[in-house]
Chain A
């Protein structure tokens, strides 16, 4: 117990300091009720995000640049937290940060497949600073996906992409490459978590498992309702780990006749959470409901006994939700939506 306190004291102090920078409810509210998009951006410059927006951004109407700035803020939170971590916990949070690297790689491959100009692809990438590993110039210079995969030699993505390349060439869809990257990433993240010592691993497995549950539920419902994949494909394209969603759940959902039956096959609390929305025509509401639930668990993880891994993972989940919500608010403002409508897109509390 005492060694755990010693080990987690500094990370928790760091988490508390970083958590103090999260937007207060009032700040978030003022963004939601801002009269115009420009007003919302102006409000944002009065928050911690000012340092990422830069001088003179207040007058900018470029949502895209703002979103990039927000992503920088999120990556920065990871980096600042990493300074306070060591050992297995450092490896875990670093691997979580690598999610942005996987996203970047998917953006690049998508850009290459659709012949998007290099500069445009670059502008879509999340800057990872000192944690950047992708050979971006070489990837962008690749004439085809196969050459890009060759440029990744030495990185963990090379092997999995080489396997997926064969199918990509046969089927011509990037879906197979993106799924392969996602599955491989989450497998690696789970295995990094598995290397944590005793109690840390149990706590992390719970929080990370819930996150995996949410991802699996989102994916299963999407595969089922949108892509109409077969049960065996659904099974193979979901994560082999989680907290409450197990293999038999995946099988039941995969075999379900329709969306309602699929939701009914989910374990609690996902079933109660989603069943009322089963008839909704907008499937994104299901995702928002799940993410809002995840936000609640993250917030609970931040409370209570301080020297826990949960607080660290909880903070990262809250930060991610916050960045998502600000983007949703700004997008809502730009497309002229009212505060009530914007609130329906938010993962966190309004």
Chain B
């Protein structure tokens, strides 16, 4: 519980025909963190399983194809792997390819028809707009086209160029009729004598006019042509609706199939992530990985039984640092999130989860002491835990601690009159609350230093153990300082012969420890002095930092008093006191609960962990199949 699980490296050689079964079993056990076969040494680099790598990239492509088909049909895929299906990365690849091709063909056909409809709709929209403008002058398109002596042009001119266009036509007889404006463009009808047709066309072109796009097959008046276009648009809309129905049918038909394909791909793709690391010879597959030493027998026996003994195993302890597998009992495991957020312990480090979890809960309870609110938090936590949210257990524990401290402080939903205080009320005795917090701080800082001493002893680092800033010399200085502070506060006489052994001597030892750990030279001496000075400040500031425990406990009670006062002041308004008390409690649970959690976390991380914990381990990530 206090140290990471001892790890060993395992090599499993299985026949190529057994690789699916072996992968499934290892994935089910979830006890081996796979390593690339090259990690066995330079000799193994030629054993890489290239085919598995090729298959893996093929699967990635297939996954994307499934998503594309699903997107095209507007299907949301569940994304769940196919439970209980046998592994067969090579076989699944072939069948998936065939099935996907059919789906893609159906989708492509749909897409092409939709695009054709959209293109027609886009073509008709401006025609309808232009005809609507032309319809204002009741122009007959057939008559316009039949003009013999007059040349006409219907064009969209950038509105900014209209005046210039008018000016450029001054030398020829003409009529220029602006019919209406649409998005910076003006639709004009221009007429001139047939002899000046070229001039008119050049003028329009140089004014960046675009010919109105009215197809020749539209005849009659503009209003009649507009009606024809509207009919065509309606037909297009009907065709689009038909396509939408077809899409819905396809979606219904493919929903299940795509989910099944995706499930197969997800499962086999996960296996391929492992296979990519496997080694290969002509008939065997080599599986390398870290595993907890205590599970060596279990894994070996399960594979032997499954494969009928066709597995060769070898275990060793290479010089590389293994990943860290924490091994806490199930009731402590939820608190591992506190450690993982900071960084998992390295392989040779102590695992602070039990202590950190306990301190977090106690500190939270002290700051958020309220029997009723704690119960709410505890119930919320249990509900989250029931919903498989692991953090729910942490919340439940915090709630329980808040209930216990609520009883001790006599606080129930902010009121201090409902339950008696078994210990003390922070608002009535704030100095005592702060004193308790300081004492807690001293105990926690001391615990941190002691854990550092134990850690140094485990790795046989004598300098850190004896002379370290947070070693025995540091502990000596810290407690010497506490004794002096007590004497000072108790107005007892303090003399140099008292100070020297209590803090002077350990400071010299700490300085010596720093010097020995650095390169010799003036800079080394200076840096050592700075480090020791920093340690003094940290001992002081870290201890004082715990005042926040008392301060938040007082604040909690204070805020409660304010809401109670408000409720009493508004007691003449019906329902107002109840409303204020409910809102006050909700506000306190939400805001203060969050703040107390943050403060408990920071006291753990900065004041406690900083004494002994490095948290630079590599987390153990065993191979698992979904």
A164 to chain B: which residues have CB within 8 Å?
208
How far does the alpha carbon of A160 sit from the alpha carbon of B184 in the complex, in Å?
10
Contact with A along B438-480 (1 / 0, CB 8 A): 0000000000000000000000000000000000000000000
Q: Which of B15-23, B109-117, B158-166, B571-579 is the contact stretch?
A: B158-166
Chain A residues 126 to 183 lying within 8 A of chain B, measured CB to CB, are 159-160, 163-164, 166-167, 176, 180
How far does the alpha carbon of A235 sit from the alpha carbon of B161 in the complex, in Å?
11
Contact B202 A232 (CB under 8 A): yes
Interface presence of B237 (CB below 8 A): no
Contact A230 B210 (CB under 8 A): no
Interface presence of B497 (CB below 8 A): no
B207 to chain A: which residues have CB within 8 Å?
236
Pick the residue among B160, B161, B205 that contacts A167 (CB under 8 A). B205
Interface presence of A268 (CB below 8 A): no
How far does the alpha carbon of A342 sit from the alpha carbon of B499 in the complex, in Å?
91
Range for the number of chain A residues in contact with chain B = 20 to 34
Closest Cβ of chain A to B212, distance in Å, is: 13
Contact residues of A with B, CB < 8 Å?
Answer: 159-160, 163-164, 166-167, 176, 180, 184, 187, 229-233, 235-237, 240, 247, 251, 255
Interface presence of B294 (CB below 8 A): no
Pick the residue among A159, A176, A187, A230 that contacts B202 (CB under 8 A). A230
Secondary structure call for the A interface: helix
Contact with A along B191-223 (1 / 0, CB 8 A): 000000001001101111010000000000000
Range for the number of chain B residues in contact with chain A = 20 to 34
Pick the residue among B165, B171, B184, B185 that contacts A236 (CB under 8 A). B165
15 A-B Cβ contacts within 8 A?
Answer: A159-B184, A163-B208, A166-B210, A167-B208, A187-B160, A229-B206, A230-B202, A235-B167, A235-B203, A236-B168, A240-B163, A240-B167, A247-B167, A251-B167, A251-B171
How far does the alpha carbon of A167 sit from the alpha carbon of B204 in the complex, in Å?
11
User: Which A-chain residue is minimally distant from B163 (CB atoms)?
Assistant: A240
Interface presence of B169 (CB below 8 A): yes
Contact A232 B210 (CB under 8 A): no
Chain B residues 148 to 176 lying within 8 A of chain A, measured CB to CB, are 158, 160-161, 163-165, 167-171
B164 to chain A: which residues have CB within 8 Å?
235-236, 240
User: Which B-chain residue is minimally distant from A164 (CB atoms)?
Assistant: B208
B161 to chain A: which residues have CB within 8 Å?
236
B169 to chain A: which residues have CB within 8 Å?
232
How far does the alpha carbon of A237 sit from the alpha carbon of B205 in the complex, in Å?
11
Closest Cβ of chain B to A165, distance in Å, is: 10
User: Which A-chain residue is minimally distant from B200 (CB atoms)?
Assistant: A232
Contact with A along B81-115 (1 / 0, CB 8 A): 00000000000000000000000000000000000
* Beyond A163-B185, A232-B206, A233-B203, 6 extra complex contacts between A and B, CB < 8 Å: A166-B208, A176-B208, A231-B171, A232-B202, A233-B202, A233-B206
A240 to chain B: which residues have CB within 8 Å?
163-164, 167
Contact B199 A232 (CB under 8 A): yes
User: Which B-chain residue is minimally distant from A240 (CB atoms)?
Assistant: B164
B208 to chain A: which residues have CB within 8 Å?
163-164, 166-167, 176, 180
